[in-house]
Structure 1
């Protein structure tokens, strides 16, 4: 029998909240970094900010996939797999369609407008955007025209991974039982080897596209992380060992991050290029990247397990913040990037000092997400479109009213 944790894991709730909060800050940072392309760019960019963002760039989305898989593993102990699949389908694919047709449109519009590819006129652009046969911006077409999911790529990936894992759950649960006898260090080594292999063989041939069908490097990376998270959640001894070893994981992560930053700033330029392109050189780089990736993930899992596995704490004394974030997190995620772009365009015209502008952009984005969620949660249709629990409206007749407690 697999050793599991039956009580609610508040540390996973907190980690998910913090990870998505970090994602919002990261996307605001994308507006200001110098070398990375994004939908629109500030006139004032920063290379130093890019170094800071490299801190989370290699593992930020992996952490979210890892947590999502852990939650799925714990949930499938109490719910039928097809019930869970139906739930994830309703709460992922419906918001995805809503996001593609409505939420991400400002991102495409303002990007094209900033490049002078279109004339101003949001509604006329939207009509062309949802038309799969549009002749507008043909060089940006996908098989469905201009429709895109942009930052919502995580949603279809999560749904596909969840569907696959739920369909093969009996095999994974059997594997989890057998892994009871395997030391966590061996499992970590296997996870690192998998990531190194994906980086070595697939990274150059299949650069990140977030297009789902041809994104093989990202699938090798994120799906293996998803499987690892599912199996990890079913091993209470591994979980406890990670909590105990959290300082070691953090130390390894900091060292590897320092090496990555040193390399990006040219500290190793004296090393012959031939060594970097050799098998041994690429393997050394792969080991550093894999250890950095898993070091940060497991350090955060460990520290969260040690300090955040409770409903209330010094940050959230009555548990209301965690309750709010658990329900609001998907609408916030859906709305945040479009709001960043809309507010960035507005603030750019004001020509404010960059420090003031950045603070205002953070405040306005969070305020917009809050207001958007407050609006979304008030109507059953918008709740359904944004992945919230829905209580369908009760239809009544004048001659035969239904009782108030009718489900």
Structure 2
């Protein structure tokens, strides 16, 4: 793999994971505990949805952290630390602040109105906590990243490249994640948002994502070769979690399963998704604004659709459709076309603005 190779599979993984995030959040509406985490809750539940959601939930957010760390490795090929900080401030911190003060309060007001509470303007990170974490990681780890970049042929990276040639090396990478799960002891493991568990797990994934890319072809060849083994192990661990532990395995096992799922996903994506397409070109730009917007349209859709007499599965798919159409329509009609709105949603400005993940397609 050369430094000029375009990596479409990484772009696809970001797009797919954000799509899974949207479906996952909508699934919460149809769980009997949704209201306890301030989601609008359907009177009719689809508890069976949680079986596939529980499979996804332990790796979808960590995967995004790995991908984000990879993006930084791609970015610093052509940027010094000042340029990286300036770009990430514009592309991550600015949308975070704008979303926290102007987008999140919208779905909070919808929730308050639906449950007949006093209407209050409540800016908070909500689902945008991920952006805050990423920005902090850039600040904390940039000295490490630039040191490793400067010493790509040093002892540390030589050792790590050798480690990545063997699938057992990837198992060694899992050890810090398992230790984090034991030491922090999150309950539940899947509670990432605004928790120390989410912060430290994300920090590890961000760091290793960077290092995986810096190893060059070693990591990618290993996950490509052993992808079926990783998938088999991940499925086995999930079935054990589902059938023997009712989805509540010890946290260290949850951490092991999470990482093995991620290695399998990287392997299959590298094999089948590393190719250009018009769909990717469009979705990679739209994904970031959709991520910022989706909660407001999701709550609005729930308010409008849940009272309608129809089968509960029809309501679930109707909320998905409403959220998707609403978010993409606002993106197409306003965000994409109005210059001053673009940076508020993480998009570049100017006639030559390209997709939102431009910095993460070369390694």
Confirm or deny a common fold (TM above 0.5).
Answer: yes
- Following superposition, the deviation at residue 265 of structure 1 comes to 3.3
Native 8 Å contact 2:59 2:258 kept in 1: yes
Return closer, same or farther for 1:237/1:209 CA change in 2, 3 Å cut-off: closer
Give the whole-Å Cα distance in 2 for the aligned partners of 1:298 and 1:104: 33
**Which structure 2 residues correspond to residues 158-173 of structure 1 after superposition, within 5 A?**
158-173=134-149
- Following superposition, the deviation at residue 353 of structure 1 comes to 2.1
Normalised to the residue count of structure 2, the TM-score between the two structures is 0.87
Q: Partner of 2:355 in structure 1?
A: none
Give the whole-Å Cα distance in 2 for the aligned partners of 1:367 and 1:378: 17
- The one of 194, 201, 216 equivalent to 1:221 is 201
Counterpart check, 1:339 vs 2:297: yes
- Following superposition, the deviation at residue 164 of structure 1 comes to 2.1
Q: Partner of 2:8 in structure 1?
A: 10
Return closer, same or farther for 1:5/1:305 CA change in 2, 3 Å cut-off: farther
Q: Partner of 1:303 in structure 2?
A: 268
Q: Partner of 2:250 in structure 1?
A: 285
Native 8 Å contact 2:237 2:257 kept in 1: yes
Give the whole-Å Cα distance in 1 for the aligned partners of 2:260 and 2:3: 23
Give the whole-Å Cα distance in 2 for the aligned partners of 1:292 and 1:369: 33
**Which structure 2 residues correspond to residues 1-400 of structure 1 after superposition, within 5 A?**
5-36=3-34, 37-38=36-37, 39-118=39-118, 125=119, 128-129=120-121, 146-173=122-149, 174=151, 175-183=156-164, 184-204=166-186, 208=191, 210-211=193-194, 215-235=195-215, 236-265=217-246, 285-311=250-276, 319-374=277-332, 375-391=334-350
- Following superposition, the deviation at residue 83 of structure 1 comes to 1.0
- List per-residue Cα deviations over 1:339-390 (Å, max 9, x = no partner): 1111111112323321222221111111111111111111111112111111
- List per-residue Cα deviations over 1:383-404 (Å, max 9, x = no partner): 1211111139xxxxxxxxxxxx
Give the whole-Å Cα distance in 1 for the aligned partners of 2:14 and 2:184: 28
Normalised to the residue count of structure 1, the TM-score between the two structures is 0.78
Q: Which runs of 5+ in 1 are unaligned?
A: 119-124, 130-145, 269-283, 312-318, 393-407
Give the whole-Å Cα distance in 2 for the aligned partners of 1:204 and 1:292: 16
Give the whole-Å Cα distance in 2 for the aligned partners of 1:196 and 1:233: 22
**Comparing both chains, which one has the higher relative contact order based on Cα–Cα distances under 8 Å and sequence gaps of 6 or more?**
2
* CA RMSD between the two structures: 2.3
Return closer, same or farther for 1:232/1:383 CA change in 2, 3 Å cut-off: same
Give the whole-Å Cα distance in 2 for the aligned partners of 1:209 and 1:306: 29
User: Which segments of structure 1 move beyond 6 Å, counting only runs of 4 or more?
Assistant: none
Give the whole-Å Cα distance in 1 for the aligned partners of 2:271 and 2:157: 24
Give the whole-Å Cα distance in 2 for the aligned partners of 1:359 and 1:206: 27
- List per-residue Cα deviations over 1:267-317 (Å, max 9, x = no partner): x9xxxxxxxxxxxxxxx8345312211111011100011111111xxxxxx
Native 8 Å contact 1:93 1:159 kept in 2: yes
Native 8 Å contact 1:330 1:386 kept in 2: yes
- List per-residue Cα deviations over 1:119-158 (Å, max 9, x = no partner): xxxxxx4xx41xxxxxxxxxxxxxxxx3201111111011
Give the whole-Å Cα distance in 2 for the aligned partners of 1:221 and 1:49: 26
Native 8 Å contact 1:377 1:383 kept in 2: yes
In the alignment of these two chains, the number of paired residues is: 340
Give the whole-Å Cα distance in 2 for the aligned partners of 1:77 and 1:385: 26
Structure ranking higher in helix proportion: 2
Native 8 Å contact 2:167 2:223 kept in 1: no
- Following superposition, the deviation at residue 206 of structure 1 comes to 10
Give the whole-Å Cα distance in 1 for the aligned partners of 2:187 and 2:255: 19
Return closer, same or farther for 1:26/1:205 CA change in 2, 3 Å cut-off: closer
Task: Give the greater-gyration-radius structure (CA).
Answer: 1
- List per-residue Cα deviations over 1:234-258 (Å, max 9, x = no partner): 1211211111100001001100111
Give the whole-Å Cα distance in 2 for the aligned partners of 1:161 and 1:49: 33
Give the whole-Å Cα distance in 2 for the aligned partners of 1:87 and 1:353: 47
- Following superposition, the deviation at residue 186 of structure 1 comes to 5.0
Q: Partner of 1:404 in structure 2?
A: none
